[in-house]
Amino acid sequence: MKTIVIFNRAGAFAENKDTARDIRLKEIIPAFESHEDVILDFERVDAATQSFIHALISDLLRKYGSETLDRISFKSCNDTVQQIIRIVVDYMQEG
Amino acid sequence: MEMTANEKWISVHPIVLSMIAALGLTVKPEQIRCEKFEAASKHYLVRMGLFKVLQIVSAINIVEHEAAGRFIPITQIRTSDELTKFITEMIPLLHLESEQAKTLGYIVSELVRNVLEHAEAEHGAILCAQYYKKSNSIRIGIADTGLGIKKTMNRSWPATTDLEAIQLALTPGITGTTRREGGTEQNAGAGLFFIKSIASVNRDFFVIYSGNGFYKLLKKNPTKRLSLNADPFKDRHSIDDAMPYWQGTLVGVDITLDQTAEFSMLLKVIRETYSMAVKERKKAAFKKPRFI
């Protein structure tokens, strides 16, 4: 199980899409490819933009389908972050 | 470029200041002619950093006070890292409460990233903001002199007018980068819809201007039940499709702080509206039976 602490990469306001893309490409996808599950830890992250979460997980949902949600756990998300993640997960599955 | 002002007063929304600065950056400082301002409020232009950004001399002398808590001077942002630095360092200076800072940070981040990713603007995004004590509100203006919404939308969508392009840009799930539902790995086409929704739920002012097109979300009656619309033309609004041509895009947003809705509550409504819009679009693309 690989744990990625979002605060350490993106700070308390997670908005930098380049950072999100780097986390996805350099950490999440390699973990998936080596059959490792991932915990995205949002402890101390006050807010995240939809663009950040989209850049972080949308391509995973497209490539790996809903199995992505079996392999990623979202830890310590406040209400705001939870809502943003729900929005992105919903429209990626509906689309 | 020539800058003039009323002799008695100068009162401008931050979107106008950002617009002047963005336009001024497209010409050399020696090509800007600035009249001697007479209005008592002329110092405001200095405080907001207009002359500094444009590298011209104002001949207005002022004693500068601490900016903290009152305004964000005209700022030029050209890279993703500059934006992150700006949000981390500038927004806390306004001493907002956590929910309000979240809302402001969200708006600035999404709008400026739109410019950096889509506008191909040589001078990046120009923004400034002002806190108004009387109305307890923050007004923000963001300008660029890039491609404009129509050109970026036309990469994937057949908008024939600037106003049509604005309508598409405000619709959830529509991005100029692809026609594919869900967008690309980096773009979903949700940014402007979120900003319009934040303004709509908080019953605030929101305006967008690109090319000849102009869209203004009108304030809602506080007694009316709040609802979000995926189609911006179904919101209470005004439009103009014959404005003087602006090469690029301008966005203005006012946030009234004492009625800023809980951000997570707002997101619940956005989620429902977004989901409905995707379903309807998907359904519209279904093949229909042929009855003969």
Q: What is the DSSP string of B144-181?
A: E-SS-HHHHHTTTS---SHHHHHHHHTSTT-BTTBSST
CA distance B245 to chain A (A): 30
Tokens of B236: 């209470």
Asked whether residue B146 is domain-assigned, the answer is: yes
Q: Which domain holds residue A74?
A: 2-94
The pLDDT value given to residue B222: 66
Average pLDDT, rounded, for chain B: 87
Q: What is the mean pLDDT of residues A65-77?
A: 93
How many domains are contained in chain A? 1
Asked whether residue B105 is domain-assigned, the answer is: yes
Asked whether residue B292 is domain-assigned, the answer is: no
Specify the residue for token string 């007479």. Answer: B38
Average pLDDT, rounded, for chain A: 94
Question: B80–A84: do the CB atoms touch at under 8 Å?
Answer: no
Residue B31, SS3 per DSSP: helix
The pLDDT value given to residue B65: 60
Residue type, A36: E
For residue B44, which of B24, B16, B25 has the smallest C-alpha distance? B16
Higher-scoring residue by pLDDT: B207, B134: B207
Asked whether residue B248 is domain-assigned, the answer is: yes
Q: How far apart are CA A51 and CA A65, in angstroms?
A: 19
CA distance A87 to chain B (A): 5
Suggest the residue from A25, A51, A61 to mutate for an interface test with chain B (most B CBs closer than 10 A). A51
Which residues in chain B touch residue A85, judged by CB atoms under 8 angstroms apart?
none
Whether the Cβ atoms of residue B235 and residue B288 lie closer than 8 Å to each other: no
Pairing of strands B71-77, A47-48: unpaired
Q: How far is CA B277 from the centre of its chain?
A: 23
Partner residue opposite A51 with nearest CB, options B191, B267, B275: B191
Asked whether residue B148 is domain-assigned, the answer is: yes
Asked whether residue B124 is domain-assigned, the answer is: yes
What is the CATH classification number for the domain harbouring B185?
A: 3.30.565.10
How many domains are contained in chain B? 1
Adjacent-strand bridge partners of B95? none
Higher-scoring residue by pLDDT: B91, B229: B229
pTM comes to: 0.89
Burial of residue B251, with CB atoms counted within 10 A of its CB: 0-12 exposed, 13-18 middle, 19 or more buried: buried
For A14, which residue in chain B has the nearest alpha carbon? B84
Residue type, A44: R
Q: How far apart are CA B152 and CA B104, in angstroms?
A: 25
Whether the Cβ atoms of residue A2 and residue A38 lie closer than 8 Å to each other: yes
Asked whether residue B176 is domain-assigned, the answer is: yes
Which residues in chain A touch residue B105, judged by CB atoms under 8 angstroms apart?
13, 15, 47
For A53, which residue in chain B has the nearest alpha carbon? B186
Adjacent-strand bridge partners of B139? B130, B254
Q: How far apart are CA B192 and CA B271, in angstroms?
A: 14
Residue B226 has pLDDT above 70, yes or no: no
Quick count: other Cβ atoms within 10 Å of Cβ B278? Answer: 21
For B275, which residue in chain A has the nearest alpha carbon? A91
The pLDDT value given to residue B285: 75
For residue B129, which of B42, B12, B230 has the smallest C-alpha distance? B12
The interface residues of chain B toward chain A in range 92-121, judged by CB-CB distance below 8 A, are 98, 102, 105-106, 109-110, 113
